[in-house]
């Protein structure tokens, strides 16, 4: 994976956050981070198409070796939200599968535990961990971008370090 890239994605129907990390011997570095807009109104098919197109363009541009995705968490009080989020996740997984890259999911609790040592860390703790580890001048924002970078870093810690150690 050294020289490879990880595309981290925080799926959302309105806003999907992304972060592209390049893996070097010195560690990961941010290549680009931002958002893909699905839109706030309109027919769901068009919103999903916008997300799929945005992720497909990112994959084409940055040629990641893996797509790391935050797993869907469904709170029993909001099943409709979980169903709608599942649609966004589905088109993101499809974009990765069509490009022939592995799509790996991590739960929010696992991401927090890997980055901060606590699965119950708050957003601020996670943002500071990302800032420190990636040497960023300021906290990653908005939250969608921070979550995408967090899931990419989680993948790096669980997969990328093993491959770097094998090279050394």
122 counts as catalytic: no
Tokens of 140: 């990653």
Beta strand 66-70 pairing with 27-37: unpaired
Task: Please confirm, yes or no, whether 147 is among the known catalytic residues.
Answer: no
Active site residue 144: yes
For residues 124, 126, 128 and 130, what is the CA-based torsion angle, rounded to 10 degrees?
-150
What CA–CA distance (Å, rounded) separates 114 from 44? 34
Q: How far apart are CA 124 and CA 59, in angstroms?
A: 29
Catalytic residue among 10, 22, 32, 57: 10
Question: Which one from 22, 57, 133, 144 is the annotated catalytic residue?
Answer: 144
70, 122, 133, 147: which is the annotated catalytic residue?
Answer: 70
Active site residues: 10, 70, 144
């Amino acid at each position: 994976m050294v020289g490879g890239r990880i595309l981290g994605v925080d799926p959302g129907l309105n806003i999907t956050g992304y972060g592209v990390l390049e893996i070097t011997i010195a560690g990961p570095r941010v290549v680009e981070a931002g958002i893909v807009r699905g839109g706030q109104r309109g027919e769901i098919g068009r919103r999903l198409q916008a997300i799929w197109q945005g992720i497909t363009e990112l994959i084409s541009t940055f040629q990641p070796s893996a797509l790391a995705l935050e797993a869907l968490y469904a709170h029993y009080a909001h099943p409709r939200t979980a169903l709608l989020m599942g649609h966004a996740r589905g088109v993101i997984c499809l974009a990765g599968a069509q490009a022939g890259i592995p799509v790996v999911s991590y739960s929010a609790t696992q991401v927090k535990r890997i980055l901060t040592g606590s699965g119950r860390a708050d957003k601020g703790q996670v943002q500071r961990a990302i800032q420190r580890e990636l040497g960023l001048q300021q906290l990653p924002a908005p939250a969608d971008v921070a979550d995408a970078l967090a899931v990419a870093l989680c993948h790096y810690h669980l997969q990328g370090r093993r491959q770097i150690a094998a090279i050394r």
